[in-house]
Amino acid sequence: MSDKPKVAFFDFACCEGCQLQVANLEEDIIKLLDLVDLVEFREVMTGSTSETYDIAFIEGSITRKSDEKRLKDIRERSKLLVAYGQCAVNGGINRLKNIWHSMDDVKKCVYGDDSYMPHLDTYPTKGVDEVVKVDLYIPGCPINRDEFLRMVKELSLGKIPRLPNHPVCVECKLKENICLFDKGVICLGPLARAGCGAICPSNGSPCEACRGTVDNPNKNAMHEILDKYNYTVEEIKRTINLFGVNPEVKK
């Protein structure tokens, strides 16, 4: 028997891009296997070698009744449950459908004439913590590999891993990037939670807050800025909530 923690990976409604990030750790994945006992991970191995898990990593959002049953079952068999990737954290991109008033309209728009098929049944998207207790979150679309490794190392050392609570602007400044606002481009960097190394702005694309926001984003200030750039209320909302960030401001 190994004294390494038993680790399993599961996916729900998602593109499986986050588990691909883990599978793509290259030589680090070998070192990672010295640290943990991988017992279930559909993308890289067949079957399962354990019924219980020390850490279960959950990817994807919850969009069907049957998902809830499966998730609750995993939760019961896991000591720690980690929601990793933005779909798991808050529903992510999948949550966009919740803006629509009727799920029938959503289904018709996506699946057309097949929308009535039973296997395409769906309800409004939930994040993992709307169904079961989540012990740790690793945000991002996709997750950042270095952050994932840091979390695993810190869990192995018995530390409580923490997420950065500063905006992406910090990482742009550290890299001495030219601010996209200087180029007239709207960027959600001032609201978005850092930890990605400002990868999008560093490559010329605005931040879309795929890691969600900092704990206390100043949405009022962002509304003011977007207003200054002549954005309509609808455009402002659409800009802010691509990754499930609620655009409403506290009065």
CB of 118 to other proteins, least distance (A): 45
CB of 183 to other proteins, least distance (A): 8
CB of 188 to other proteins, least distance (A): 11
Q: Judge contact between 74 and 66, C-beta under 8 A.
A: no
CB of 113 to other proteins, least distance (A): 47
Q: Pick from 54, 68, 74: which is nearest to 10 by CA?
A: 74
CB of 248 to other proteins, least distance (A): 17
- By C-beta, is 74 or 191 nearer to other proteins? 191
Which residues, 6 or more positions from 203, have their beta carbon under 8 angstroms from its beta carbon? none
C-alpha–C-alpha distance, residues 94 and 127, integer Å = 10
| Residue 185 identity | V
- By C-beta, is 107 or 223 nearer to other proteins? 223
C-alpha–C-alpha distance, residues 59 and 78, integer Å = 15
| Residue for token pair 């455009």 | 235
The two tokens of residue 193 are 């939670």
- By C-beta, is 131 or 168 nearer to other proteins? 168
- By C-beta, is 80 or 186 nearer to other proteins? 186
Q: Using CB under 8 A, list all residues that contact other proteins.
A: 28, 31-32, 34-35, 149, 153, 156-157, 165-167, 169-170, 173-174, 176-179, 181-183, 189-191, 214-218, 220-222, 224-225
Helices assigned H by DSSP within 132-198 = 145-156, 168-174
- By C-beta, is 105 or 224 nearer to other proteins? 224
Of the chain, the end-to-end C-alpha distance in Å amounts to 56
